[in-house]
Amino acid sequence: MLKNNYHTHTKYCVHAKGDVEDYVKEAVNLNMEELGISDHAPIPLNHGMTKEEWEENYCYENMDINTFDNLLNEIDNLKSKYNIKLYKGCESEYLYNNDDWYKKLRSKLDYMILGIHFFNGEGRVLDTYKDITYKNVDCYYECAKRAIETELFDYLAHPDLYLFDYKSINGKNEFDDKAKEICLKLIDLCVKHDIYFEINTNGLKYSKDKNNRDLWLYPNIEFFKVVKEYMDKNPNKLKLIIGADAHEPKALGNDNVKAVLEMVKDLKLDVLNKMEIK
């Protein structure tokens, strides 16, 4: 099971369940040593997107800016109550020309996760789950690059999310050369900036057949075979880490986590189980 997890959501984002304390108790039950809370960062309405885009991308489900400080206080208050190390994080998007906003968020936190669920491209905001094709996938990479170059982020969540409904030149959801190129560029980017690179267990929640890895939405097995190839050629470079991306306390140690741990073992992927927090 996971010794530590840094990708955890609470009821502060309306699509997740459980108080911070419920997660802490579950983590203690699982004998975990460290837990980082990383709710979806607040996104103000005036953030370089239209009101429609803001709604279409479910920004109202992110934390409310007015409750953000409450969450951070809650985490601080639990630190002395339980025998587990707690960290304050968040999972943030990155849209261009809002760096002051991300700086302000980061200044309150121990670490910040980059999770690209939408991004700037084709003169609008594109949805990672449904808009990506071989033609615009470079914009997904560009978003990651510009975000990570700010040096505000410590961890790239589900780097393979661009493959969720990726369309190749044949209009098929397949791992083509372009998909592989993006995978390798994301690895290089995270190595260059010393950022953690996640294997996210939460994609199994939506996958039809959990026993068939080829059907997993994410982690994407083709993607992680490329990661493995890279790591064999370049040992000790990529900081690979498993994230539960828990949206309910049980997800810190559920069957999805177990299935991903098996996959990691089978592919012989070298994962770090602890994040160094400066």
Q: Given the rule CB under 5 A, which residues bind Zn ion?
A: 91, 245
Q: Is the omega angle on the peptide bond into residue 219 within 30 degrees of 0, that is, cis? A: yes
Write down the least CB distance from residue 247 to Zn ion, Å. 6
Of the candidates 89, 93, 7, 8, the residue with the CA atom closest to the CA atom of residue 42: 93
Compare residues 125 and 231 and give the one whose CB is closer to Zn ion.
Answer: 125
Residues 6+ apart with CB under 8 A from 158: 115, 198, 200, 202, 203, 218, 219, 243, 245
Write down the least CB distance from residue 253 to Zn ion, Å. 17
Compare residues 110 and 167 and give the one whose CB is closer to Zn ion.
Answer: 110
Residue with token string 């190390």:
85
Chain residue at closest Cβ approach to Zn ion = 245
Query: For the chain, how are helix, strand and coil distributed in percent, rounded to 5?
Result: 40, 15, 40
Which residue type does 84 have? I
Spatial separation of the C-alpha atoms in residues 83 and 28, rounded to whole Å = 7
Compare residues 204 and 231 and give the one whose CB is closer to Zn ion.
Answer: 204
Write down the least CB distance from residue 18 to Zn ion, Å. 13
Compare residues 121 and 203 and give the one whose CB is closer to Zn ion.
Answer: 203
Write down the least CB distance from residue 61 to Zn ion, Å. 7
Spatial separation of the C-alpha atoms in residues 95 and 140, rounded to whole Å = 11
Of the candidates 213, 260, 210, 214, the residue with the CA atom closest to the CA atom of residue 240: 260
Spatial separation of the C-alpha atoms in residues 24 and 10, rounded to whole Å = 11
Compare residues 199 and 231 and give the one whose CB is closer to Zn ion.
Answer: 199
Write down the least CB distance from residue 9 to Zn ion, Å. 5
- Tell me the angle at which helices 137-149 and 177-193 cross, rounded to the nearest 10 degrees: 0
Compare residues 34 and 91 and give the one whose CB is closer to Zn ion.
Answer: 91
Write down the least CB distance from residue 40 to Zn ion, Å. 6
